Chains A and B, each alone.
Chain A
Amino acid sequence: MNPLLHIENLSVHAGGKALVSDISFAVAPGERLGLIGESGSGKSLTALATIGLLADGLKVSGSVLLNGRQVVGARDRDLVPLRGATAAVVFQEPLTALDPLMKIGRQVGQAVRRRAKRDGRPTDATSVMSEVLDLLDQVALPQPQRIAESWPHEISGGQRQRAAIAMALACKPKLLIADEPTTALDVTTQAEILRLLGQLVRERNMALLFISHDLPVVAGTVDRVIVLRHGRVVEQGPVSTVFREPSHDYTRSLVAAARAFDNALENAP
């Protein structure tokens, strides 16, 4: 089967400095891949590069094939249809992921309408609204009707993140890119969102590119993991292998640090 996302020798430069160098990996349809590394290791840049949304000043080289289409060097106009149909992103900060001046229902409705138009389905207010409510229900938001009528500032951070996930789902993507989707949430909400993401990805047979710096979070969510450091791949493989028998020093220190943190928590009074 052809990979959904095929990245080869991807490098991102800013003013002569390499931010991401020579990264290659592939994501098969339905596969769940984790990108982990510390802040500034190039995780988010890699994610943005896969959909051709890097800032202007950054120079990209290498090859990114998204659903068989070349993203690097492509014109923005050609990428617009590709993006919506293939990939969607859930962001780290639920506060800025929603337009503060648009009710949740309308906001999710935008994405639903765009997708419906592309599929040639009816885009009248009633059918869009019923799909919006359906989506809000699927991301386990209580009282979808009420949430749809709310402004973003009126609901909690966890609910906002669920609404953002509903927006991403509205695109019916083949690949869901989750850029640290739980970092800004408290631990309980984090677990709920992770369970929800895992369930949705399984149900819809989406591929998942999960970006995080949090080892336990990644370990529970994905099948395969890539460890980045200073914009380079230091290790990759199935989650169990990488975390149980890390071969690279950096991964080993990451695992050790996470373990030390766990122990400290357990020993705490």
Chain B
Amino acid sequence: MTDTNLVAASPEGRTRRSWTFTIGAIIVGLHLVIGLSTLFWTPYDPTGMSGGRLEMPSLSHLAGTDRLGRDLFTLIMIGSRIALVVGTGAVIIGGLIGITIGLLAAFASRTLDDILAASLDILIAFPTLLLAMLIVASSDGASLGTAIVAIGIANSAIVARLTRILAKRVLRMDYITAARISGTSWLGVVAIHILPNIWPTLLVNLALQFGLAVIAEASLSYLGLGAPPPNASWGRLLQEAQGTVYTAPFGAIAPGIALVLLVIGINLLADGLRDIGDPTRRRRR
């Protein structure tokens, strides 16, 4: 009786999306469209003067101008592209390294697992930013690439620790034993059972890492360790606006709003994705 009802309820639930997903998708999509459009078009030349210095926001300059007279909205648009590139790159690097190490630790012998777990804990104890600064400082020079790699590596420890724990929990389940008995190899078990089962939680964490990576890049740029000058990263915009923050506060507020919006959007999107990816949550209203 109840079974038929439950089964009948699922097909419609499958297509329904949560509102968090919708809002998150809109915000992230907006950033994506704006960021990508800067490859072909910007309202003003990002390097040239387009108005007076430190103008207030107006219709012609949506976010005002900076102290060199450049259009801030144009710079923020470019910053959006950089933030997305950094976030995506850092999440891919951090995710690949982290998931691999985490799975290795989950399958490893007791001793190796203990060693890996302890090193991860030590790595996590370092602030992400400090670790990223160390990596940038020890490389040839600050560039967008080194910033991405540095943030990715710094974030991988958290991903690895989460993967290890999630994978260990799934490994204890009977269906893993059943799969092993029916002759599935360990690699098959990982692909068929472990990754799909840890994916919803992992995805949310990776999205969180995306947001953290965007913030970390802004911090690195703020400190002068991120993308070098022609790239208008939000962190550099914040740093440049610092000197005039009392006379023209909008120079700092505008990139700040862009940064916060993107991070919130990503987190909402992740939350929505988890609800969609987990069949047991789909029916919930």
A residues with CB within 8 A of B: 48, 51, 53, 56-57, 76, 80-81, 83-85, 87-89, 91-93, 96-102, 107, 110-111, 114-115, 118, 146, 149-151, 153-156, 159, 164, 167-168, 170-171
Contacts and interface: CB of A to CB of B under 8 A. Distances in A.
Nearest to A97: B174
Given A101-B197, A151-B280, A53 B181 contact: yes
Contacts of A118: 183
A83 B181 contact: yes
Given A56-B109, A84-B183, A97 B178 contact: yes
B279 A89 contact: no
A171 B175 contact: no
Given A88-B181, A101-B197, A110-B192, A96 B279 contact: no
Interface stretch (B3-11, B23-31, B63-71): B3-11
Contacts of B10: 150-151, 154
23 contacts: A48-B177, A53-B180, A56-B109, A57-B110, A80-B185, A89-B181, A92-B174, A93-B174, A97-B175, A99-B192, A99-B196, A99-B197, A102-B196, A114-B183, A115-B182, A146-B4, A151-B10, A153-B279, A153-B280, A156-B3, A167-B182, A168-B178, A171-B183
Contact of B279 (A80, A88, A101): A101
B182 A84 contact: yes
Contacts of B280: 100, 151, 153
**Residue among B110, B175, B185 with max Cβ neighbours from chain A (10 Å):** B175
Contacts of B61: none
A20 B253 CA distance: 69
Contacts of A171: 181-183
Given A110-B179, A111-B182, A168-B182, 5 more contacts: A51-B181, A56-B110, A80-B185, A97-B175, A99-B192
Interface in B246-285: 278-280
Contacts of A53: 177, 180-181
Contacts of B186: 76
Interface residues of B, number: 27
B193 interface: yes
Interface in B145-192: 173-175, 177-186, 192
A190 to B, nearest CB: 18
Chain B interface main SS type: helix
Interface in B186-238: 186, 192-193, 196-197
Q: Closest 7 A-B residue pairs measured CB to CB? A: A84-B183, A91-B174, A97-B174, A96-B174, A154-B6, A151-B279, A84-B182
Interface of B: 3-4, 6-7, 10, 109-110, 173-175, 177-186, 192-193, 196-197, 278-280
Contacts of A83: 180-183
A96 B278 contact: no
Nearest to A87: B181
A52 B68 CA distance: 73
A34 to B, nearest CB: 20
A85 B181 CA distance: 9
A155 B7 CA distance: 8
A102 B179 CA distance: 13
A98 B193 CA distance: 10
A129 B182 CA distance: 18
Nearest to A142: B3
Given A150-B7, A156-B3, A159-B3, A98 B182 contact: no
Contact of B183 (A85, A91, A107, A150): A85
